[in-house]
Chains A and B, each alone.
Chain A
Amino acid sequence: MTRVALVRIDDRLIHGQVVVRWLRYLDCSEILIVDNELWRDDFMHNVLRLAAPPSVRVHVAPVQQAAQHLQTLASANHDGGVPDDRRRALVLLRSPQAALQLFDDGFHFSQLNVGGLAAGPDSTRLYKSVSANADQIAALRELCDRGVRVYFQTVPDERAAEMSHLLPTAC
């Protein structure tokens, strides 16, 4: 049974930090990209599939469907079964809002890694290459309220920064 090794917000999705560092560090053989828009885009679908290393399978799913699938996986792993650690999956999202929706649709992840969010017109920089606007921060705050540990970390060998430290009022 596949196990989710990491849930990560990174709007560049499958890029260097993910391919060169996280996939190898976590030994993942699957990437699940949860995104309503990309799911409808055949071209990007194809590009993302081709961009991953040959040994890694890439799936793209809309939020609701992904939540159901991941929830089933989580409860199957939880109910004993045979916890087969050989297949690990990395869940990638492009925005905090999608992460919040994924949580509310039923996939109750306990930790959320925020690795990259591009700066926009009204955003403030929170951490290295993570910037967020008011809506995005609100979504992260909601996730904190639901008991999720939200932390900022771009690559595995760097120290994680907790959202509760960076934005003390948020959690």
Chain B
Amino acid sequence: MSMMRALGLAAVGALVLGGPVAAQPRRAEQPKPSVRYASTWEDALAEAKLLNVPIVVHSHGFY
């Protein structure tokens, strides 16, 4: 099992432990061009070390 998949499953587990989200997101069209996001903090650290580039952390709110 890949680290990404393991972390994904761990995230789902954490969701279950913390209480499931009541509704599933709506499905829609294809996404607009966007930066490529790291899927986990650990992946971000590993890739940024390898490339020797800074991590840019964006802290936003949904609303």
Q: A and B bound?
A: no
A residues lining the B interface (CB < 8 Å): none
